[in-house]
Amino acid sequence: MTSQTLGNQLYRLVTTAKIALFNQGELAQLTYGALDVVASNVQASESEPIEISFPIGFRPDKTAIISSKNYSKNDLLNRYQFLAFQQLPINCIAQLVTIIEALLGDILRAVVIRYPQKLNSKRTVPLHIVLEAQSIEEVHIKATDTLLNELSYKSPSEFGGALEELLSINVLQCPAFHKYIELKATRDIHVHNRGIVNDTYLKKVGSHARATRGVFLPVDIPYFLESYEACLQVTEWLEAELDQHWNSSEREAEKENLPSSSLSKVTADDLSKVNEQPTTARSQKTSPKRPKRVKTKSKSENEHKKKN
- Looking at the whole model, is its pTM more than 0.85? no
pLDDT score recorded for residue 146: 80
Contact 170, 164 (CB under 8 A): yes
pLDDT score recorded for residue 149: 80
Peptide bond into 49 cis (omega under 30): yes
Give the residue from 162, 150, 167 showing the smallest Cα distance to 115. 167
- Integer-rounded Cα Rg, in Å, for the chain is 23
pLDDT score recorded for residue 121: 59
Give the residue from 247, 229, 220, 112 showing the smallest Cα distance to 175. 229
pLDDT score recorded for residue 274: 38
pLDDT score recorded for residue 143: 78
Q: Which residue numbers in the chain have pLDDT < 50? A: 1-2, 260-308
pLDDT score recorded for residue 26: 96
pLDDT score recorded for residue 285: 39
pLDDT score recorded for residue 22: 97
The span from the CA of 149 to the CA of 138, in Å, is: 17
pLDDT score recorded for residue 131: 74
pLDDT score recorded for residue 40: 93
pLDDT score recorded for residue 260: 41
Q: How far is CA 306 from CA 236, 289, 300, in A?
A: 27, 31, 10
Which residue type, as a one-letter code, is found at position 117? Q
pLDDT score recorded for residue 297: 41
pLDDT score recorded for residue 286: 38
The span from the CA of 225 to the CA of 217, in Å, is: 16
pLDDT score recorded for residue 271: 39
